[in-house]
Amino acid sequence: MHLLIYGCILGILLGGVYGLMASGLALVWGIMRVLNIAQAVCVILGSYLAFTAFTVLHVDPMLAVLPISVVMFVFGVGIYYAFLRPIRRDRESLSILVTYAIAIGIEGALGLIYTTSLQHTGTSYATQSFEVGGFQIPTVELYAFLISVAILGLLALMLQRTRLGRALRAATQNPTAARLLGVDIDRVSAVGFGIGISTAAAAGAVYGMIYSFNPNSHYDLIGILLAIVVLGGFGSMRGAIVAALILGVIASVVFIYWPLWANLSFFGVVVVVLLFRPQGLWGVPNWATQ
């Protein structure tokens, strides 16, 4: 029972970070109907930026999260105007190819700059832990979880309380009606994509303290992020966060008892849920949007 509870705690901590990564993916799909395959490589890009900030500028990755988020927001807006805005037709399918090309391009650039050697942002607290009720709580994973919760909280506040947030939500729920009501969909899409990329990079800054990474690490990550978004319901940020927590707990618990089956259980849960709710936990069924 002790290990089972511990697995749940670790799963929630890690699920929070995955939730931050996947929330941007869900937001971008909701607003633009763009499946951003480059979301995972932007996580790794964020890990490299934090690694550079730490090793070259001696800035703690936790403090680097804010400037990295800002820089990556601008980067995301730039990607939108350069590569996604020109897609006028078949956006859902063409965007997969375009964002895959972007992912490969970023991977290639990271390989040239940093080489393909594994890196790790080795802060003084990267391997520290403290005991609570007989459980060793990894300090860095707790910090990562708290930062993820803080960013997601700010994002939720922005979506609920600001004019931009209302525009983003309107664009997510019904882009045509939003446009008729005067929402500048182009601008909102650019901002939404920028936010999506910046959340990925923010999560990447803390991811690099937990795991060793290299430019190829995004291939493993994108499968997890897509599974989370599918389970949560495409376009639903709330669904993505809940799905990340659920899958994080399941994977952690299975890793304790049957590690070889952990990934299968992770994707197995997605398949089983989709059998009963094809639209995912918080998704809107197709008939409701037609």
Partner 1 sequence: MRSHRFAWAIIGILAVAGSACSSSSTSTTGSKSPVVVGISLSLTGDFSDSGKTEQQGYQLWQSVQNAKGGMLGRQIQLKIVDDASSPDTAVSNYQNLITRDKVDLVFGPFSTLLTAPSALVAARYGYAFPDPADGAPKTLNEHLQNFFLMQPAGPLDTGLTWTRYILSLPADQRPKSVAYISLDDPFLVPAVALDRTAFTAAGIKNVYDNIYPTENVQMTPLVAAIAAAQPDMVVAGTMEADSFDMVKAMVTEKFNPKYLFFMNGASDSANFPTNVGKQNIEGIFSALGWYPEEKTPGNAEFVAEYIKKYGGDASQISADTAEAYTIGQVITEVVEKVGAIDNAKIIQQLHSSYWPSIQGSLAWDADGKPVGTLLLVEWIGGKLEVVYPATDATHAPVVPKPNWP
Least distance (Å) between residue 101 CB and partner 1: 5
Residue 65 to residues 50, 62, 80, 270: CA-CA distances in angstroms?
7, 5, 22, 31
Stretch that binds partner 1, among 56-64, 94-102, 157-165, 185-193 (CB under 8 A): 94-102
Name the minimum Å distance from CB 276 to partner 1. Answer: 25
Q: Which is nearer to partner 1, 205 or 222 (CB)?
A: 222
232-251 positions binding partner 1, by CB under 8 A: 251
Note whether 256 binds partner 1 by CB under 8 A. yes
Give the one residue of 60, 129, 164, 277 binding partner 1; rule: CB under 8 A. 129
Q: How far is the CB of 14 from partner 1 (least distance, A)?
A: 7
Q: Which residues pair with 229 in a beta bridge?
A: none
Token pair recorded at residue 163: 């004019």
**CA-CA distance, 8 to 1, in Å (whole number)?**
11
Provide DSSP, 156-201: HHHHHHSHHHHHHHHHHH-HHHHHHTT--HHHHHHHHHHHHHHHHH
Q: Which of 23, 54, 107, 231 binds partner 1 (CB under 8 A)?
A: 107
Would you count residue 274 as binding partner 1 (CB under 8 A)? no
- Nearest distance from residue 135's CB to partner 1, in Å? 9
Q: Which of 63, 187, 220, 271 binds partner 1 (CB under 8 A)?
A: 220
Q: Is 234 or 266 the residue whose CB approaches partner 1 more closely? A: 266
Rounded least distance, CB 172 to partner 1, Å? 25
Q: What's the token pair of residue 46?
A: 């964020």
CB atoms closer than 10 angstroms to residue 207: 27
- Residue 99's Cβ-count burial label (10 Å; 0-12, 13-18, 19+) is buried
The token duo for 267 is 């994707």
Least Cβ distance, residue 289 to partner 1 (angstroms): 29
Residue 146 three-state SS: helix
Q: Tell me the angle at which helices 2-32 and 185-210 cross, rounded to the nearest 10 degrees.
A: 150
Instruction: Enumerate binding residues for partner 1 (CB under 8 A).
Output: 2-3, 6-7, 10-11, 14, 82-83, 86, 98, 101-102, 104-105, 107-109, 111-112, 115-120, 122, 126-129, 136, 138, 141, 211-212, 214, 216, 219-220, 223-224, 251-253, 255-257, 259-260, 262-263, 266
